[in-house]
Structure 1
Amino acid sequence: MHGKINACWLVGDAPMVFSEDIVKQFGTVHVSDLMLPGSLVWNKPLIEFVCCPPTASAILAMPLPLVPRMDIFYWPWTPDGLYSTKFGYQFLRREDESGHGSSSHAPSLPSACWKGLWKAPTLPRRRETAWRACLGVLPVNTILHARGLAVDPVCPRCPDEVETIEHALLCCLMARMVWFASPLVYATVEQVLKRVSTLLPPSDLQPVMQRSSRSLPPVWSRPAVGVFKVNLDAALQQNGEAGGGLIARDSYGEVIAAACRLLGPVLAPSIAEALALRWAMLMAKDLGLRRVAFETDCLVLFDVWSRTNGSSILDSIVMDCRYLLPNFDVFSFLFVRRSGNCAADALAHLSFSYRDFVCLEEVPQEVLDIVQYDVMTSRPSFSS
Structure 2
Amino acid sequence: MPSKVVKIPWRVCRGCLPTMHALQMKHVNLSAQCPWYYNEVKYDTHVLFTCDFARTVWFSFGIQQLVQVWPNDTAAMVIMRSFEGCNREQSAFGVKASAVNLLHDEHEAQVIEGGGNQNVVTGERVWFKPPLGWVKVNVDATIFQNGFIGVGCVLRDTHGQFLGARCKRVEGAWRPREAEAIGLKEAMSWVKRMNITHCVFETDSKSVANACNDTSGEAYFGTIVSNCISIMKHIDHVLVKFAYRSANMIGHVLAKATYSMPDIGE
Task: Report the Cα distance in structure 2 between the residues aligned to 1:309 and 1:259, rounded to whole angstroms.
Answer: 25
Match of 1:307 in 2: 214
The verdict on how the C-alpha distance between 1:349 and 1:328 changes in structure 2, with shifts beyond 3 A counting, is: same
2:169 paired with 1:262: yes
Alignment of 1:256-335 (within 5 A): 256-308=163-215, 310-335=217-242
- Residues 152 and 168 of structure 2 are in contact (CA less than 8 Å); yes or no, is this contact kept in structure 1? yes
Contact 1:259-1:356 within 8 A present in 2 as well: no
Structure 2: runs of 5 or more not aligned: 1-89
Q: Write the distance in 2 (CA, Å) between the matches of 1:211 and 1:243.
A: 35
Higher relative contact order (CA 8 A, sep 6+): 2
Question: How does 1:344-359 map onto structure 2 within 5 Å?
Answer: 344-359=251-266
Please state if 1:223 is matched with 2:122.
no
Change (3 A) 1:239 1:223: same
Provide the alpha-carbon RMSD of the alignment: 3.1
Output one character per residue of 1:139-178: Cα deviation in whole Å (capped at 9) or x when no partner.
Answer: xxxxxxxxxxxxxxxxxxxxxxxxxxxxxxxxxxxxxxxx
- Whole-Å separation in 2 of the counterparts to 1:321 and 1:256: 22
Show CA shifts across 1:71-95 (max 9, x none).
xxxxxxxxxxxxxxxxxxxxxxx97
Which residue pairs with 2:22 in the alignment? Answer: none
Give the C-alpha shift of residue 312 in structure 1. 1.5
8 A contact 2:216–2:226 mirrored in 1: no
The question of whether the paired residues in 1 share the 8 Å contact of 2:123 and 2:241 is answered with: no
Q: For 1:283, give the aligned amino acid.
A: W
Deviation of 1:286 after TM superposition, in Å, equals 1.3
Distance 1:331 1:274 in 2: 16
TM-score (ref. length: structure 2): 0.55
Count of residues in Structure 1 that have an aligned counterpart in Structure 2: 165
* Misfit runs of 4+, over 6 Å: 211-214
**Alignment CA distance shift 1:301-1:214 (3 Å):** closer
Mapping for residues 18-33 of structure 1, pairs under 5 Å: none
The 2-side partners of 1:304 and 1:313 are apart by: 13
The equivalent of 1:210 in structure 2 is: 115
Q: Provide closer, same or farther for how the CA distance between residues 342 and 328 of structure 1 changes in structure 2, counting only shifts above 3 A.
A: same
The CA deviation string for residues 117-156 of structure 1, in whole angstroms up to 9 with x for no partner, is xx9xxxxxxxxxxxxxxxxxxxxxxxxxxxxxxxxxxxxx
1:1-384 equivalences under 5 Å are 97-98=93-94, 209-210=114-115, 216-308=123-215, 310-359=217-266
**Does the aligned pair in 2 maintain the 1:305–1:318 contact within 8 Å?**
yes
- SS of the counterpart of 1:310? coil
The answer for the alignment partner of 1:55 in structure 2 is none
Q: Is the contact made by 1:232 and 1:277 (CA closer than 8 Å) also made in structure 2?
A: yes
Q: Structure 1: which amino acid aligns with 2:177?
A: S
Work out whether residues 222 and 253 of structure 1, in 8 Å CA contact, stay in contact via their aligned partners in 2.
Answer: yes
The one-letter code matched in structure 2 to 1:257 is: G
Deviation of 1:215 after TM superposition, in Å, equals 5.0
Q: Are the equivalent residues in 2 in contact too, given 1:257–1:358 (CA < 8 A)? A: no
Alignment deviations for residues 282-336 of structure 1 (CA, whole Å, 9 cap, x no partner) = 1001122111111100112122223335332101011111111232111100000
- Structure 1: distance between partners of 2:99 and 2:258: 35
Measure how far apart 1:254 and its partner are: 1.0
Equivalent AA in structure 2 for residue 210 of structure 1: G
SS at match of 1:319: helix
For structure 1, the 5+ residue unaligned runs are 1-93, 100-107, 120-206, 360-384
Cα distance in structure 2, aligned partners of 1:111 and 1:320: 30
Q: 1:267 to 1:211 in 2, by over 3 A?
A: farther
In structure 1, distance between residues paired with 2:166 and 2:220: 25
Identity %: 27
One-letter amino acid of the counterpart of residue 296, structure 1? T
CA distance 1:238–1:285, shift in 2 (3 Å): same
| Contact 1:217–1:340 (8 Å) recurs in 2 | yes
- The match for 1:48 is none
Task: Report the 3-state secondary structure (helix = DSSP H, G, I; strand = E; otherwise coil) of the residue aligned with 2:233.
Answer: helix
**For the Cα contact (< 8 Å) 2:167–2:265, is it kept in 1?**
yes
